[in-house]
Structure 1
Amino acid sequence: MTSPATRRHWTALLAWGLLLLVAGAALATWSLAEWRGAAQFLGVAPRPPAFALRQAPPPTVFPTPAATDDATRTRIADLEGRLAAIEDRTRRAAGSAGRADALLIAFAARRAVERGVPLGYLEPLLAQRFGASAQRAVATVITTARDPVTLKELASDYRALEPALRQGPPDESAWRALRRELGALVAIHRADVPSPMAQARYDRALAHLERGEVDLALAETTRLPGAARAAPWIGKARRYVAVQRALDEIEGAALLSSAA
């Protein structure tokens, strides 16, 4: 049986334990409230974020430029004028280069036609360069070059045609032929008018041919008595005149052309 002294001893110990427990709880509560690190350590307070958002610096405000002075405006105007002049010279140089190329093609085509050789690589160049501006002339040159007619050939054939040209047409009667021959013996005409006699016309036509004046030779030939006998030659001469005019048109287009 426990003695009264023992009971008082245990009662005192229990009282001190309760007192210490209450004091410890109060101390812990105060520490958690006042010391944030302890609360975070014990897990009863949220931890701060691992990193903080960095505030963007304020935008840089550039000062408004001062009004441009007269000297600066003058320099700017001078530079703009120089740039415009450079652009103009560049365009002119490009146009001159394009014009030179076009003239080279036109002269080469004329040379080939006059020599009576095929155009070869010049055919697509002519069509590409002048097909839009001188389509008919290009077609005439290409067609004639495939069946060439030269001035030398025309003159040679014309000399061989002299007897036929001085005669009358194939269906001429003997009486008309006699009258024509008698009329050719004497011809009266003005001094400033070319002689209408057949031999004189033929000589003039041949002289025109030798100077390269095929159109004038053709005009004289069509007035000769035997012009009907020279139909093939007349056809060749007309083709020659047509291709020369076509070449003139192409060269004119080349002179007016620019860089393309």
Structure 2
Amino acid sequence: MNGSGTPSGMGWGARLLIAFILILAGAAATVWSLARYEPAARFFGIAPKPSQALITSPAPAATQQPSTQPAPTPTPPQIAQLENRIAQVENATERAAGSAGRADALVIAFAARRAIDRGVALGYLENLLTARFAAQHQAAVATIITGSHQPVRLNDLISEYQLLAPDLRSGGPQDSWWANTKRELGSLIQVHRADRPATTTEARYNQALLMLQSGDADQALAETMRLPGAASASAWTTKARRYVAVHRALDEIESAALMTGGTPPAQ
């Protein structure tokens, strides 16, 4: 016995009991670990081997053989319908191109008229007029370009015409005083039909002036040439003829632009 009076066998029994309990606890922990963690179970050789997945290769797809059947032949109604659609597309394309060409040509023609009426140089419009209209309207284009180098405005024609009124009505200095006197006496009284305009010098001059002020320079020029003093207004008549020629040429290319669009410039 030890010094405390307790038998030594009792101390060893308690120790064995504690050791046994620890062994049981460790075994239980081991079993729990093996149940939870498959890699540990495989390590100790107590886990079943994983089943091999059965891998089946897919059956080879059947090789597609090219079809030996010929394509169906279009029927005559189908061919006619297709041709009709193609014709409609071509017509629409031509109409669109024609509309764009006419618009461009009209812009050029109107710009040229505006420059001529203002009495300014055409500038870059000369090349555009030549490219668009010269192929079929060469004379008109040349007249417009030449007239732009010596511009004549309508307002200038009117003011000069009013200044020439005494010479146009009296006959000018080239006529004798007797011819002028007879002309004046003859114009005092005149008998004419009611449905016809008076043909006196004064009436003819006033009529020509009204025509000119309304923009009808062509008719005003024709009426002026019937006046007794037309020969004294040769400088004015030259300008009036140039003005009329240029505006006739402008009318020609404007009509061409509206009807056909002129000739498109080369791409």
TM-score of the alignment, normalized to the shorter chain, above 0.5: yes
* Alpha-carbon separation, structure 2, partners of 1:247 and 1:105: 11
Match of 1:233 in 2: 236
Which runs of 5 or more residues in structure 1 are unaligned? 1-59
- In the alignment, structure 1 residue 118 sits paired with structure 2 residue 121: yes
Deviation of the 1:92 alpha carbon: 1.2
Deviation of the 1:257 alpha carbon: 2.1
- Amino acid paired to 1:190: R
Residue in structure 2 matching 1:177, options 177, 180, 201: 180
Name the CA shift for 1:66/1:223 in 2 (closer, same or farther; >3 Å). Answer: closer
Matches within 5 A, 1:41-120: 63-65=68-70, 67-68=72-73, 77-120=80-123
Deviation of the 1:74 alpha carbon: 5.3
Deviation of the 1:190 alpha carbon: 1.7
C-alpha RMSD of the superposition: 2.1
Residue in structure 2 matching 1:222, options 182, 204, 225: 225
Deviation of the 1:62 alpha carbon: 6.4
Q: Which has the higher helix share?
A: 1
Runs of 4+ in 1 over 6 A off after TM superposition: none
* Alpha-carbon separation, structure 1, partners of 2:184 and 2:72: 101
Deviation of the 1:183 alpha carbon: 1.2
Matches within 5 A, 1:138-157: 138-157=141-160
Match of 1:130 in 2: 133
* Alpha-carbon separation, structure 2, partners of 1:74 and 1:189: 76
Matches within 5 A, 1:16-55: none
Could you say what secondary structure the match of 2:156 adopts?
Answer: helix
- In the alignment, structure 1 residue 246 sits paired with structure 2 residue 265: no
| Alpha-carbon contact 1:113-1:119 (below 8 Å) kept | yes
Q: For residues 54-104 of structure 1, give each alpha carbon's deviation from its aligned partner in whole angstroms, at most 9, with x where no partner exists.
A: xxxxxx99625165375xx65565444323322221111111111111111
Match of 2:208 in 1: 205
Task: Normalising by structure 2, report the TM-score.
Answer: 0.69
| Overall identity of the aligned pairs, in % | 57
- Amino acid paired to 1:89: A
- Amino acid paired to 1:105: I
- Amino acid paired to 1:152: N
After superposing the two structures, state which structure 1 stretch, 165-174 or 197-206, moved more: 165-174
* Alpha-carbon separation, structure 1, partners of 2:128 and 2:72: 57
Deviation of the 1:167 alpha carbon: 1.4
Deviation of the 1:251 alpha carbon: 0.9
Task: Normalising by structure 1, report the TM-score.
Answer: 0.71
Match of 2:5 in 1: none
- In the alignment, structure 1 residue 168 sits paired with structure 2 residue 171: yes
Could you say what secondary structure the match of 1:185 adopts?
Answer: coil
Alignment coverage as a number of residue pairs: 199
* Alpha-carbon separation, structure 1, partners of 2:175 and 2:87: 76
* Alpha-carbon separation, structure 2, partners of 1:79 and 1:130: 38
